[in-house]
Structure 1
């Protein structure tokens, strides 16, 4: 059976009410990346970084999966082959929809990380600079988020999955953030059929053999239905 590897980005969660980064009025409109999403920003002003991610965590706790998330969970459940779900998103909407073994390459809002000893534990809704690491005791707690300039999680496994894929689908991605922007080329060179499902063509749309444009809540269930033969 076909192995399907799927990459999702902010566009799939936008219809659930989560702000995207790069759209006008998105999250970065009020904050410079350099101020909230780099290791240097955390070192310079950890209070600001915590306030930013506390707000994101609160927002994420208030939303629910949409039809696109649910369709991908259905694909994982019913497809006879392997379905690998990789996401750039730090929310838990895929899991809330029923998806399993989601690979969060950029970390999760639900996680806390010690900047000193690298211990990990579940994050409370509100984090602060006074939170001590439960392992080493250092007051160096940060969100378990991959910031700009840091290496995304699980890259070795992701590259292997892409090389083994029969189908690679990118959903709701801008196509201008690496290394994820290179996934379509990598999978295509290995022989996969590459398809983009997006509200509008991505920056790297030329890397896809097929493009389907529209709202994720519409085009993703339609695509999943076609794959499953519904």
Structure 2
């Protein structure tokens, strides 16, 4: 297991993140890492802990996903995440959720924030998934989050044997146009939540 605190002690956090699974990622033509996915029992509590360490506040949201197909079987999954950035890397806090043990199996009994996946923005999630499947990393979860006008397509690949982590491919679009989320956006949204005294927003399917 790798824990977020182990990476935060490095002066160059981005370099430490990019070193994770480097040999395999280079072989697979992936890198640098866009997102670090971290499992925690409670996104709000974890966000407060990280803010005390000097990180920016996390935008927190949750609700049912539009699609969650795990090992070929459709499931009803509901979860909550917190998103921020640090040294140019997107940080995603993931609660265990309901409807699957996918995140829960990485939950640390001592309350440490566990690195779950390495994420990459790609133009075509399915094409990237097929390529990595050919490299011996099967598709674990294929999903979609939709909250008009935002749509997030994602796929989790089982690369634990090859590099020790799950690999995620992501594609975010607004009104059908692919975007790369500006790093300052999540902090802006987090500040809005705090001002509104609503620390978590519910995202509806649509």
TM-score, normalised by the number of residues in structure 1? 0.29
Higher helix share: 1
Work out which of the two has the higher radius of gyration on C-alpha atoms and give 1 or 2.
1
Higher strand share: 2
